[in-house]
């Protein structure tokens, strides 16, 4: 699968809210670094991160555009309540090995009525 296809599948799985399903797209030693928090290393830790996030808030990813360049796909997204962001996915051997995400954490917390950290 191309990086774009992996990201398209990632969006489908993300929108199910199933942490185990989405974690299967990551390499065993993948790193997920959402710039608003510390990097998460390893598939199991990434699965735990998604499980906690899916439990805390109902999240929906609506792709605006997906760009692909070599082994990297870039996802510009929005959600139904007004949050916007961008994710960069490096894919090797049909698995995500590195992901970096940019989004406004303060807006996320306020829009989901979560405590400000």
- Within-domain flag for 91: yes
What is the pLDDT, as a whole number, of residue 58? 84
Cα(65)–Cα(78) distance, integer angstroms:
10
Examine residue 116 and state whether it is found in any structural domain, yes or no.
Answer: no
**For residue 9, what are its two tokens?**
């599948």
Query: Is 15 a member of any domain?
Result: yes
pLDDT tens-digit map of 53-105:
999 888 899 999 999 999 999 999 998 888 888 999 999 999 999 999 987 66
Question: How many distinct structural domains can be found in the chain?
Answer: 1
Whether residue 75 lies inside any domain: the answer is yes
Is 95 within the bounds of a domain? yes
Q: Is the pLDDT score of 109 beyond 80?
A: no
How many CB atoms lie under 10 A from the CB of residue 67? 14
CATH code, domain with 53? 3.10.450.50
**Is the residue at 63 inside a domain?**
yes
pLDDT at 10 over 60: yes
Range of the domain at 76: 3-111
- Distances in Å between the alpha carbon of 44 and those of 29, 51, 104? 9, 10, 25
User: Is 45 part of a structural domain of the chain?
Assistant: yes
């Amino acid at each position: 699968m191309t990086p774009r296809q992996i990201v398209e599948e990632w969006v489908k799985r993300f929108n199910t809210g199933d942490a185990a399903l989405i974690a299967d797209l990551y390499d065993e030693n993948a790193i997920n670094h959402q710039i608003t928090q510390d990097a998460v290393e390893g598939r199991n830790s990434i699965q735990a991160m998604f499980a906690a996030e899916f439990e805390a808030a109902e999240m929906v990813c609506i792709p605006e555009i997906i760009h692909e360049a070599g082994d990297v796909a870039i996802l510009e997204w929005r959600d139904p309540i007004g949050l916007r962001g961008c994710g960069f996915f490096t894919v090797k051997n049909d698995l995500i090995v590195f992901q970096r995400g940019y989004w406004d954490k303060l807006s996320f917390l306020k829009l989901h009525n979560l405590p400000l950290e």
